[in-house]
Amino acid sequence: MIYREKLKIMREAENYLQPISYNKEYKIALGFPNIYKIGMASLGFQIVWALLNQNPKVSCERFFLPEDETEPLTVESQRSIKSMSAIAFCVAFEMDYINILKILSRAKIPLLRQERDEDTPLIFVGGAITLINPFALSEFVDFFILGDGEEILDWVESILVRDNSKDQKLKLLSESPYIYVPKYPKDFYQKHIVKDLSPYLCHSLITTPYGEFGDTILFEISRGCGRGCRFCAAGHIQKPFRLRKPIIGENLPLYHSYGIVGAAVFDNPYSKDLCKKIVEEGAKFSLSSIRLETIDEEKLLLMKRGNIKTVTIAPEAGTERLREFIGKKCQDETIFNAIDLSYNEGFRKFKLYFMIGLPGETEEDIKGIINLITILSVKYPKAHFTPSCGSFVPKPHTRYENCPMDNEKSLKSKLDIIKKALNKHKNIEVSFESPRMAKVQAILSRADETLGRDYLLWAFEKGWTEAGREYRERIDKVLYDIEKSEFVWSKLKV
């Protein structure tokens, strides 16, 4: 089926919770640099789309990366993104950077900003990723919005709609400390923080059966995290921790299914009452993960009534020593108690997140992951355990931004040890992210303007492996030989 037809079908299946007018003069195409299914499951993307459409002079249409090699078109009117007045991207993961290049290329837009003329739409980027390291993308993007979109987007739109040249608009935008315009660089940038989120939309306005989480309203229960684990980028860049209070029938519509978005959902004291209300209304809900120490019988019962089938927890490291070291203070006993309580409440599926390659990690910590999961699998033979092992990426702005990354060979061998020891048990299935892809993620989160440009262009033409080979020396400098590197991201105060 051709992409245009496919988009029409997806559009017809969408349910709008609020009418939106698309007849306004200034047109922005807002893209999520991944496929429709993933993009529509991003609450940040959905909220930015709603915010952009609030401006009386602006219509914002969505677009995604087509699954085939075709030109990206907007969902709402299936028009070319090149014909729009401006193009925005909402970016949540470094691995999607390459998809921005694919989208621009398929839309026949020059990849490098300096090669675009006055007729090419201005291209800007927002989203969580801009607070980690926007500099790696700076040669492809006209400007970046740093931080929360609420409040500032309206000001950005007021400049975009003016009858000025692209350059005049960029100059005006560069006057804000929260906007990074690569053409008009400054010494420092700040992130924009909305202290009180209560006046703003907290939920998605479009539901679709074609989204990753199915036909669900996503809503935000909190932004940031109050825990401050040393390794965690989300916890550091989204400070301060802000609680929200969605109320069904008031600022949250009544629906049959909800996806609750927040770093540690039950750290919001109000969330338990809200989950109660959801199940009393006969609806179901899902949660990303639950903090081990907040698990109790009452919450487990609510999760069961809310139709949650899997208990997902994140011990992160295999031993108490390493957990303490990385700021995730959690005893083995807490993990065993949480699983025991969940099992007694009838849960049989457990997903546990771990990281390998953490600073201070020893062989004992790898054995610790194996021991922990083996004990659980023997104690609960009727349960199914999925330990998910990610490779640690030392992200900018965290307490470990100065730490070298563990190398690919070492990560691979640790992963092999874990897989070999655990996959022989029938009720364990190790899931993992390839260390090679974690390395790509690390490069993109730490690259400066020139390495970001060169590495991405090479990867776009020839693939990640070739790009890694071509720029090996420069990559080693940002990943392993860190004392000699200058951190480009220190210009950004988060």
Contact residues for ligand SF4 (CB under 6 A)?
A: 225, 227-229, 232, 234-235, 263-264
The residue among 204, 189, 182, 97 whose CA lies nearest residue 152 is 189
Q: Do residues 408 and 439 touch, judged by C-beta distance below 8 A?
A: yes
Q: Do residues 91 and 125 touch, judged by C-beta distance below 8 A?
A: yes
Q: Do residues 291 and 267 touch, judged by C-beta distance below 8 A?
A: yes
Q: What angle do CA 368, 372, 374 make, to 5 degrees?
A: 115
Please, which residue, 185 or 228, has the CB nearer to ligand SF4? 228
Question: Does 240 sit behind a cis peptide bond, omega within 30 degrees of 0 on the bond before it?
Answer: yes
How many Cα atoms occupy the beta-carbon half-sphere of 393 within 13 Å?
24
Please, which residue, 113 or 328, has the CB nearer to ligand SF4? 328
Q: How far is the CB of 315 from ligand SF4 (least distance, A)?
A: 11
Amino acid (one-letter) located at 108: K
Q: How far is the CB of 392 from ligand SF4 (least distance, A)?
A: 12
- Please give the sequence-ordered ranges of beta strands (E in DSSP) within 36-142, or none if there are none: 58-64, 86-90, 122-126
The residue among 385, 282, 408, 276 whose CA lies nearest residue 336 is 385
How many Cα atoms occupy the beta-carbon half-sphere of 134 within 13 Å?
33
Q: How far is the CB of 320 from ligand SF4 (least distance, A)?
A: 16
Q: Which residue is nearest to ligand SF4 (CB)?
A: 235
Please, which residue, 31 or 44, has the CB nearer to ligand SF4? 44
Compute the Cα dihedral for 70, 71, 76, 77 and give only its sign: negative
Please, which residue, 113 or 397, has the CB nearer to ligand SF4? 397
DSSP label at residue 218: E
Q: How far is the CB of 430 from ligand SF4 (least distance, A)?
A: 21
Amino acid (one-letter) located at 256: H
Please, which residue, 120 or 319, has the CB nearer to ligand SF4? 319
Q: How far is the CB of 238 from ligand SF4 (least distance, A)?
A: 9
Please, which residue, 264 or 447, has the CB nearer to ligand SF4? 264
How far, in Å, CA of 436 to CA of 431, rounded? 15
**Which residue's structure tokens are 């005893």?**
331
Please, which residue, 7 or 263, has the CB nearer to ligand SF4? 263
Q: How far is the CB of 272 from ligand SF4 (least distance, A)?
A: 18
Please, which residue, 178 or 241, has the CB nearer to ligand SF4? 241
Please, which residue, 43 or 232, has the CB nearer to ligand SF4? 232
Q: How far is the CB of 228 from ligand SF4 (least distance, A)?
A: 6
At a CB cut-off of 8 Å and minimum separation 6, what does 300 contact? 311, 341, 342, 345, 347
Q: How far is the CB of 119 from ligand SF4 (least distance, A)?
A: 43
How far, in Å, CA of 146 to CA of 458, rounded? 27
Q: How far is the CB of 375 from ligand SF4 (least distance, A)?
A: 23
> Is residue 351 within a helix (H) or strand (E), and if so which, with residue range?
strand 349-356
- Please give the sequence-ordered ranges of beta strands (E in DSSP) within 401-473, or none if there are none: 431-432
